[in-house]
Amino acid sequence: MSSATQVKSFREMLGAPTLTASPTDSTLIIIDAQNEYAEGHLKTVNVESTRKAIASLLEKYRSAGDGKNIVHVVHKTPEGAPVFTPSTALAEEFTELTPRAGEKVIQKELVSSFAGTDLHEYLSSLGERGKKAVLTGYMAHVCVSTTARAGADLGYNIVLAGDAIGDRDIPGFSGDEVTSAVLKELGDAFGTVVRSEDVK
């Protein structure tokens, strides 16, 4: 019986290419990088390192172009919600990621960044660099995973910056275990997992 390290991924079986990305041939999508995940009920593990990796990628994309291939997705909840509470710091994006002129900001109320938003239309307007999406953010098993799967179904080339994606501890699993499992699943069937330093 072969070990898990010896089997081929589903993408390999299908002949799908291993993707690379640069700040000029792709679009950076920052998913729900909000203070809720740093200091709220949904605080994620290793948030200091994941937010640093996101900020590093953001700087690369800002240095390489006009900012149009940078998308900030922000989760919005109803007034009084216990998470991402509106009109509080928990709902705000990390300070170091504050959007600049030319960068796209999308508010979502559902799990996928494509659901109920104009993300698909916006990416389609960007030409070639809109066809490859570099995903970062939170949580790996919820909004990042769902966005990756939805994007793949829509025909996008999905790249996941693994060190710029995080999760929280959930019943039965640590945040690190959740993130690792999700990235393995997504890398098997939906996209290519890279490190933020490999995007250059």
Residues recognised as catalytic: 32, 108, 143
Could you give the CA distance from residue 97 to residue 137 in angstroms, rounded to a whole number? 12
Could you give the CA distance from residue 197 to residue 93 in angstroms, rounded to a whole number? 22
Q: 195 in helix, strand or coil?
A: coil
Could you give the CA distance from residue 152 to residue 189 in angstroms, rounded to a whole number? 9
**β-pairing verdict for 157-165 and 192-194:** parallel
Within 10 A of 149 (CB to CB), how many other CB atoms are there?
Answer: 18
* DSSP 8-class letter at 35: T
